[in-house]
Amino acid sequence: MTSEDKDLVKVEYDNGVAWVSFNRPEKRNAMTPKLAGRMLEVLDEVEVREDVGVMVLTGEGTAFSAGMDIKEYFRDMKGKPHIEEIRARRKNWEWQWRRLRYFEKATIAMVNGWCCGGAFLPMASCDLAIAADDAKFVLSEINWGILPAGNVTKAVAANMPARTGIYYAMTGLPFDGKQAAAYGMVNESVPLADLRKRTRELADVLLEKSPAVLKSCKEVFKRTLDHNLGWDISEEYLIAKQEQLWMLAGEERERGFKQFLDDKSYKPGMGMYKRD
């Protein structure tokens, strides 16, 4: 990978947080096959760093991302062997969906501006999302004659009320960060000037938690949801994961018990126990 390719994604490490930014602001961070390759590398790098507890995904400039690069993923693929197209798309879905959705660290999408079409997928794959009030979300596919495919429709259906999601998929009309928060597509929206500060505050709440418990917490939530587990299997699965966690990080709950029941130094309903 050339240094130019590496620059397609910017990574900054700061006190437990990896700030990962799409870095094609002049193209509104439209995602190319090379960017997908770089994101796979970045995810591998961030995931194993012990000094990182939270990864924030955002975009440089005025866009989070304008979605799939229409030239590189669509027009330039015309006439190429089908296998090439499949490989390029597979790499894209690999990072946006399989890797990111079950990433081993907590993830927050920080939606700073335009979030179009294909960009809904990485945004929704993050555990949490915060948008700028004026960020613009648009399922633009219908406006240029394709479907919100590649699991974008699934990401919308899973994170918005059905009537609202189908409305935006069928009309291609935009909605803003405040609306996205009201629909549940993002957790909250704040003025753009406060976006980074608010994201950092949320990351700091997550950094207080035990990394092992946090990882397991997000994983069981998503797998229970994604696999539509029935109540019996879900119960079995959650018990098994809980027991696995006690074996791997049982000291965490012991600390919690002690500080609540013996030391009376905190109340679980009102915050976190001291981890050190």
Residues forming the site for ligand COA (CB under 6 A): 27-28, 30, 62, 66-71, 114, 116-118, 140-141, 144
Exposed e or buried b per residue across 144-165, where buried means at least 16 C-beta atoms within 10 angstroms of its C-beta:
eeeebebbbbbbbeebbeeebb
**Would you say 116 or 206 has its CB closer to ligand COA?**
116
Determine the longest span between alpha carbons in the chain, in angstroms: 71
Tokens 């429709």 belong to residue? 153
Minimum distance from residue 175 beta carbon to ligand COA (Å): 14
Closest CB 95 distance from ligand COA, rounded Å: 15
- Given a contact cutoff of 8 angstroms between Cβ atoms, the answer to whether 49 and 18 are in contact is yes
User: Of 33 and 118, which has the nearer Cβ to ligand COA?
Assistant: 118
Name residue 28's amino acid: R
Nearer to ligand COA, 57 or 203 (CB): 57
Closer by beta carbon to ligand COA, 58 or else 140: 140
106-111/17-22 β-pairing: unpaired
Q: Give residue for tokens 């229409």.
A: 70
Q: In the complex, what is the shortest distance from the CB of residue 62 to ligand COA, in angstroms, rounded to a whole number?
A: 6
CB closest to ligand COA, residue no: 117
Residue 117 or 165 having the CB closest to ligand COA: 117
CB of 253 to ligand COA, least distance (A): 44
Residue with tokens 């240029």: 144
Which candidate, 230, 190, 26, places its Cα nearest to that of 110? 190
Of 44, 48, 50, 58, residue with least CA distance to 12: 58
Write down the least CB distance from residue 194 to ligand COA, Å: 22
